[in-house]
Amino acid sequence: MKVCILGNGLVSLTLAKSLVNLGINVDIFSDQKIKKYNKIQTIGISQNNIEFFNSNIFNIKKLLWDINNIEIFSESLKNQRILKFNDKNNRLFSVIKNFQIYSLLHSKLKKDNLVKFKKNFKNNIFSENEYKLIFNCEYNHPITKKFFNKRISKNYNSFAYITMIKHKKLDSNDIATQIFTKIGPIAFLPVSLTETSVVYSIKEKQNINLEKLIRQYNTKYKIIKISKPENFELRLSILRNYYYENIIAFGELLHKIHPLAGQGFNMSIRDIIDIIKLIKFKINHGLDLDNSICKDFENKTRHRNYIFSNGIDFIYEYFNYENKINNNILSKTVKYIGKSKVVKNYFKKFADYGINI
């Protein structure tokens, strides 16, 4: 059995490794050079997704920095804490540097005889019957423009600024902090005892002093250095059709969300979990891979991804609306209902497992 993947990003390589671990031949097509992730970029991975990654892809335990506490604050309540999540026995999620996991994935795939990295992908490859399935992770590919151009989209008119702060060593650094400020949410994500990643989503691209803002909202770290930041535009994008014939859209092509909850990569891993289950079912029953998998994948995941994406969007707009009306009643409401253990457990499951319907 042979499949191909269009794109060589983090989701593409993660999907590729999960497929070759099933004994499936994978061709990875990209005209781009191997991605060079900046060392300041990080991603959060939920507990359930870590377990899947370790069991079905490869063990990343040594790369992870565990987060056992999450604290959420609101500037409209004079930076009072409105929510707190903790688990003494288990991590809530873990943070990992993009370049570390990407480099390991690429290294392992380059050594695998079931994998080939190729260039100059042909536009009509889907009609040549060379591949059972084609996974399209490429935004700018001709196939995308032809078959995957219908989407629900939204421009947040915001930019995410990413940087890394180096600080004096702490005895522990396992608390992730998010503050909903008047110009957007800022998150502090620990990656070691001496480093913490910062993601600040700021409304509109404006002349800002990012270092000054970070120091303003930092209450924990004795900062030594702040790395040169990167920024990218923020959009919500949800694809309407998940497949065409035997081509399945995947990764950010399928769904792109606001980074405030750190759920983008987690959504893609959940998609990988589902597609692997469908493929395993075919293999275990002696069935060939065919485009029925595409339809089954869409039926299983589209409603879930749609609800989850809009759930993240609702959280953003909830606090954004509070700033527009210049009233703190919404933060007070969250603080009040957040005292409930039932509500907290629901939010924890939502972040870990996504939507299960």
Instruction: Provide the domain limits for residue 179.
Output: 2-353
Q: What is the pLDDT of residues 44-68, one digit of tens each?
A: 999 999 999 999 999 999 999 999 9
**Predicted confidence (pLDDT) at residue 275 exceeds the cutoff of 70:** yes
Tell me what pLDDT residue 126 has. 55
Query: pLDDT, tens digit, for every residue of 181-212?
Result: 989 999 999 999 999 999 999 987 667 899 99
Domain with residue 230: its CATH number is 3.50.50.60
Give the Cα separation of 272 and 266 in Å (integer). Answer: 10
What does the pLDDT look like over 109-166, one tens digit per residue?
999 999 999 986 655 555 556 899 999 999 888 889 899 999 999 999 999 999 999 9
Q: In what order do the strands lie in the sheet with 42-46?
A: 42-46, 93-97, 65-67
> Which two three-digit tokens encode residue 272?
């990988």
pLDDT surpassing 60 at residue 267: yes
What percentage of the chain carries pLDDT values higher than 90?
68
pTM of the model: 0.92
Look at 80 and 22; give whichever has higher pLDDT. Answer: 22
> How many domains would you assign to the chain?
1
pLDDT tens column, 312-352: 999 888 888 887 777 787 788 888 887 888 877 777 777 77
